[in-house]
Chains A and B, each alone.
Chain A
Amino acid sequence: MSTQSEPLLVIEGLRKSFTLHLQDGLELPVFNDVDLTVHGGECVVLSGPSGAGKSSLLRCIYGNYLPRAGQVLVRHDGALVPVTGAEPRTVLEIRRRTMGYVSQFLHVIPRIPTIDLVMEPLLVRAVDAGRARDRAAELLARLNVPERLWRLPPATFSGGEQQRVNIARSFVADYPVLLLDEPTASLDAANRDAVVELINDARARQVAVVGIFHDADVRDRVATGGFDVAAYREAA
């Protein structure tokens, strides 16, 4: 991974474990001593068997899980800023402008039309509503979400349609750092292609991508490098 550019994401000595207080304080180790640096234009694919901690690592990067040790730094407004230990408002600011995340499932306020949900990341950045709507429409079209569905809330959509709404929401705002948790899991071949194209377009824009992809074909088409999370398993 030789790149002259400055890294966009730096992980140092990251350790995650869970303490289950309701199970007599049982300790569940996940990973320890993870170091990872990602530059713009790279797509690092996390690997390891189910339960190795791939999603946990993504969530620690996003500030959604609390690591036990180590730090996560993200280039935000030109400087490497720690996500770990940061004030909530700082993490939210980083998420608003710098770091996007596609989760496996869509979590949104019920009864809001799809197009409004997809526009939202732009509205919170104070983008003009008309432009936000155009950009949202463009992405939904690119992801083959039929136009008749745009005005409906996604609750009744199929799994694949919901996932594409989720992807549209995360690609609408051109984040410099993107975290993708199985974005193609329930998509058919045509839609997988659309997502691969979006990811590779983002890479061409020098976006740093970290993702989990179970589909080998998708993985081969987007990855610039791999990272085996299982190698960092901590003994219980």
Chain B
Amino acid sequence: MSGQSLLRATGVGKSYGDRIGCRDVSFELWPGEILGIVGESGSGKTTLLNCLSANLELTAGRVEYDTRVDGMADLATMSEPARRMLMRTDWGFVHQNPRDGLRMNLSAGGNVGERLMAVGARHYGNIRRDVIDWLDRVEMEDGRIDDLPSTFSGGMQQRLQIARNLVTKPRLVFMDEPTGGLDVSVQARLLDLLRGLVRELGVACVIVTHDLGVVRLLSHRLMVMQRGRVVEQGLTDQVLDDPQHPYTQLLVSSIVSV
């Protein structure tokens, strides 16, 4: 168990004038830890994810990250190039819609190789080898390496987006409803794939979803949000099996089982 947290949020808030996106969120994320954030639409979970990943400016509090060079650093006061470098190398962001995370006019191989080149890889042979290795790890056939992502199914696009994000071995990956648009048969396979990769690479994740099944299988810890606030947090199975807050009890009891 390492003694240093990777990401630290302190009193994080975001408001749009009178409207509150999220408020007063504090937590520490540890290396290799998977944090799930659940809540209904409009509860502020995606706003929070965007605040944590420096895609939105905070209106309160701060987010710090353990950078490889300078140690714990406040994202708001970091230089723009340093922040962009972080996003390209140490972080990943998996969007619900793969089209938001992929370059649709670039081949599948190009999408994965581009991230490698962004961190300095130049040797064509090595890049191609790594790309093929990663396409294989997300269970895509080598034959599709030169095809455009638009010719892929939704599930394949999502797996490609995951390969693009993990190829640089980031230490932290943000995911916004990663299994959201996929049909159930593809979801289960993707979940298992994600779980295996995350375990193998020891990467920390913040996953936003409204699917309690996804967090039960994937996340170590859970935060439940309602109206912009965290109303309950703890060990995932404890929060789901013995929820304490009225809203969590409502959420858990509303699951339709088949």
Q: Chain A: residues with CB nearer than 8 A to chain B?
A: 18-22, 59, 63-66, 88-93, 107, 109-112, 123-124
Across the interface, do A21 and B246 meet the contact criterion of CB distance under 8 Å?
yes
Query: Which of the residues B1, B33, B238, B250 comes within 8 Å of A66, measured between beta carbons?
Result: B238
Residues from chain B with a CB closer than 8 A to the CB of A93 are 1
- What chain B residues lie within 8 Å of A19 (beta carbons)? 244
Point out residues on B near A: beta carbons under 8 Å: 1, 30, 33, 188-189, 191-192, 195, 199, 216-217, 220-221, 234-238, 241-242, 244-246, 249-250, 253
A110 nearest in chain B by CB position: B188
Contact in complex: B1, A112 (CB < 8 Å): no
| B201 nearest CB across to chain A (Å) | 13
Cβ B246 vs Cβ A22 within 8 A: yes
How distant is the Cα of A85 from the Cα of B217 in the complex, in angstroms? 23
Chain B residue numbers with a CB within 8 Å of A92 are: 220, 235
Give the shortest distance, in Å, between A106 (CB) and chain B (any CB): 13
For the complex formed, measure the closest distance between the CB of B250 and the CB atoms of chain A, giving whole angstroms: 6
CA distance A63 to B236 in the complex (A): 10
Q: Are A111 and B249 in contact (CB under 8 A)?
A: no
Q: Contact: A109 with B241, CB < 8 Å?
A: no
Is the beta-carbon distance between B246 and A88 smaller than 8 angstroms? Answer: no
Q: How far apart are B238's CB and chain A's nearest CB, in angstroms?
A: 6
Known: A88-B221, A93-B1. A109 touches B250 (CB 8 A): no
**What is the CA–CA distance of A36 and B191 in the complex, to the nearest angstrom?**
39
Question: In the bound complex, what is the Cα–Cα distance between A122 and B190 (angstroms)?
Answer: 22
Dominant secondary structure at the A interface: mixed
Residue of A whose beta carbon sits closest to that of B254: A22
- Complex CA gap A63/B249 in Å reads 18
Name the B residues within 8 Å of A110 (CB-CB). Answer: 188
Q: Which of A64, A90, A109 contacts B237 (CB 8 A)?
A: A64
Select from chain B the residue with minimum beta-carbon distance to A86. Answer: B235
Complex contacts, A18 vs chain B, CB 8 Å: 242
With most chain B CB atoms within 10 A of its CB, the pick from A66, A88, A92 is A88
Chain A residues with CB below 8 A from B244, complex form: 19, 66
**Closest CB of chain B to A126's CB: distance in Å?**
10
Chain A min CB distance to B173 (Å)? 18
Residues of B within 8 A of A59 (CB): 241-242
Residues of chain B lying within 8 A (CB to CB) of residue A65: 238, 241-242
A17 to B225, CA, bound (A): 24
Top 7 closest pairs, chain A to chain B, by CB: A21-B246, A88-B235, A65-B242, A88-B221, A110-B188, A21-B249, A109-B192
State A63–B237 Cα separation when bound (angstroms): 9
Interchain CA distance A90-B220 in the complex, whole Å: 11
- If A66-B238, A109-B188, A109-B195 touch, whether A89 touches B246 (CB-CB below 8 Å) is no
From residue A105, how far is it (CB to closest CB) to chain B in Å? 12
- Which residues does chain B contribute within 8 Å of A91, judged by CB atoms? 235
Q: How far is the CA of A63 from the CA of B221 in the complex (A)?
A: 13
| Chain B nearest CB, measured from A201 CB (Å) | 28
**A contact residues around B191 at 8 Å (CB):** 109
**Cα A88 to Cα B220 with chains together (Å):** 7
Please report the C-alpha to C-alpha distance between residue A143 and residue B229 in the assembled complex, in whole angstroms.
48
Contacting residues, chain A, for B30 (C-beta < 8 A): 89
Nearest residue in B to A153 (C-beta to C-beta)? B188
Taking each of B33, B234, B237, which has the highest tally of chain A beta carbons within 10 Å of its own beta carbon? Answer: B237
